Structure formats: C-alpha cells, structure tokens
Amino acid sequence: MKSISEEHLASLSGEGLYSYIANSQHSKPFHDFAEKTVKNLIGEHKNPYMDAVMGKHHRWKHGHDILDIRGTKEINHLLTDILTKDGLPLPAMSKNYLGSGMVDTLKSFGVEKPIKWLNMNGFDHLFGGLSALEAGHDMSQALSNEAIDFTWETAFDTFGEGSLEIFFGLQTFNPLLLASGVTEYAAGSVLLYKDIARDNLPIYEQIINNLPNQAQLVSAVGFYMMISSLKNYIFYKNGKISKEELKHNTVTDVSVSLGTFAITKSLITTMAIGGATGGMLLPLLIGGGTSLLLREVFTLAFPNNKILITENELWEQSPFQYDSPWNKTSFENSNIWQDNIFNNGNIWQKNLFKN
C-alpha cells in the first residue's frame, strides 16, 4: 500500500468506462455484440424450459438461477445469457427462491428498481470481483500487524477507491462494487486509527502531518474536474439535465478547479499547454505535470528514464526554470527602492532656513 497499484488504476478506469456505457445509448449495442460473440463461439443452446417466460427480467422470474442447473445444457444456455445487459440472477435470488422476499425488503428500505440489484451480468462480475479482491487485500493489510503509514497514496487506495467504487456501483446496480467500496472505507478507517494510535500524537497534529502537499491537492482537483465533467455529460446524454444545466455545471466545475490552482506557479504552464491542445488535455494537466498520476504514467512509459527531479524541487521552480525572473524583484540588487528617499546628500535632509 506504499504506492498506488497501476493494475487497480486500470480496473477503476474500466469501471468508469463500463459505467458510462451502461448509462448511455451505447449500452444495448455493446451488450448485443457481446451476446452475439458468445453465441458464435459456443452456439445458441436454446432451452424451452428456461425460455418459457419472456419479457423484462424474465431470467429473474424463471429458470435462470444457478439452482436451476441440472446439466451441461443449462450451463451452456446460461453462458449465452451472462453478458446480456440484465445478466443473470444472483444465486438463490431469483423470484422462485429468495428473490420475492428480497425485493419486498429492498422496497421497504426505499431502494428503487430492486430487481436490478438482484441481477448481475458478466461485466458486473468482472469489475466487482476485481474490486472485491483489492478491497479484501486492503482490509487484510489493515488488520495485520504490519505498520503502515497513512499517506496520501494510502488515502487514495482506501477512501478514494472506495468512493469511486460506491459511485460506479450505484451507477451500474452492482452490489459487489458497492460492498467493495464500503470495505475500502472500513480498511482506511482502521489504518488511520492505527497510524494515529501508533505515534501517540494528538489527532490535530496527525491531521496536519498527513495533509496532502500542493501537488497532490492540485492533482486531486484536476481529477475531480475530469470526473465531474464526465458525470455531467452522461447525465446530459441520458436526459437527466438540460443543455443549460450542463453548461452551468461545467462552468462551475471549471471555475472551482481553476480557482484552486490559480495561485500556484503551474498556472502559466498549464494554461499554455492546455491552450495549445485546444483545452482537451487541461483536466489532466492541472498541476503543471507534477500530478502523481502523470508521474506514474511517465515512469511506466519510460522505465529506463526515471524522473530524477523531486516533487519539492519541481514546485520550488517557476515555469521559467532556474534563472527565473520570478525569483528576482523587478529591479536587481542595487535597485532604487532599497535606498531611502532621504539619502545622505539629499537636500531634504537640510533645513531650508539654515545659513
């Protein structure tokens, strides 16, 4: 947990992309293509009993629970259905088993579309399973005797990933992702408590010591801006917000992000590169190239050319490098402002009425 795993960053990116697909007009073509690909590989395997009920959520209503499997015919038929958008019911959660009671229970808690939470397709299982493994590993480390400092990377690896997994889980009705997010929060809480207790410092001192530095704050804001922009676009494409609301939300997010790093030395560099690329890279370039995410990408892309300059050294420099005009005053060392206007030979030091 000393560094953010690139594998899990890839998993989070996949979850985000799938969340977008699942909530956009691309959803049906995507799942239809996946279903057709499976059928081309293994055949259609039609089953009169399993397909006796048709319509929305027909697999949840009849014949497609794992408890309904009697042989290879049923298994092959389920394989042709697993990648469809509605997927298959969770084990024992179809209507004929525990599903009806579970739907009533979820409704009593105010859950909308409870049947969707009782079905998962192959992509839900894939991303949910990867996240569950990562969350389980983090919880195992948190409960172990290993001394782990609660750093910025640890915070992202627990609370950060947990927040994203909860968001993606709610977007795709994925209970595994949701449970993984909650587990990450629990692991982060345990690690934070152990770190505070181990150093025997007051909690306010621990908070101050663990505050992210300038580069990390700016990078986090840039990431927020990118995620918010994507969320606003998805909501707009799905008709949840109007065009005017999309413009308003985007302007607000951009203003918040730009305002946060406007006082940093990276502003000129970021704006220059962002302008040169038509603004397309601006969300990723916030932080002037010192984003932890970009540093990881560069390190992976150029393993034989390590970035030798440290983060602190980079932030101590202005966009104009070592011989920077920002390190000097408008006038050099012997500038006139360093002299008193009442200098030694100045006539104002003499009495005008003195002989």
Q: Residue 187 falls within a domain, yes or no?
A: no
Quick one: pLDDT at residue 244?
86
What is the DSSP code (8-state) at residue 266? T
Q: Residue 101 falls within a domain, yes or no?
A: no
Q: Residue 165 falls within a domain, yes or no?
A: no
Taking residues 35-49, report their average pLDDT.
Answer: 91
- Domains in the chain: how many in total? 1
Q: Residue 226 falls within a domain, yes or no?
A: yes
59-74 pLDDT, tens digit each: 999 999 999 888 898 9
Q: What whole-number distance in Å separates Cα of residue 131 and Cα of residue 178?
A: 9
Q: Residue 232 falls within a domain, yes or no?
A: yes
Burial, 147: exposed, middle or buried (Cβ in 10 Å; 0-12, 13-18, 19+)? exposed
Residues 138 and 181 sit within 8 Å (Cβ to Cβ): no
Give residue 319's domain range: 212-329
Residue 144 reports pLDDT greater than 60: yes
- Give pTM, 2 decimals: 0.60
Whole-number average pLDDT of the chain: 75
Residues 225 and 259 sit within 8 Å (Cβ to Cβ): no
Q: What whole-number distance in Å separates Cα of residue 106 and Cα of residue 91?
A: 17
265-282 pLDDT, tens digit each: 344 444 444 444 444 444
Residue 230 reports pLDDT greater than 70: yes
Residue 262 reports pLDDT greater than 50: no
Q: Residue 41 falls within a domain, yes or no?
A: no
Quick one: pLDDT at residue 201?
63
Higher pLDDT among residues 208 and 338, named by residue: 208
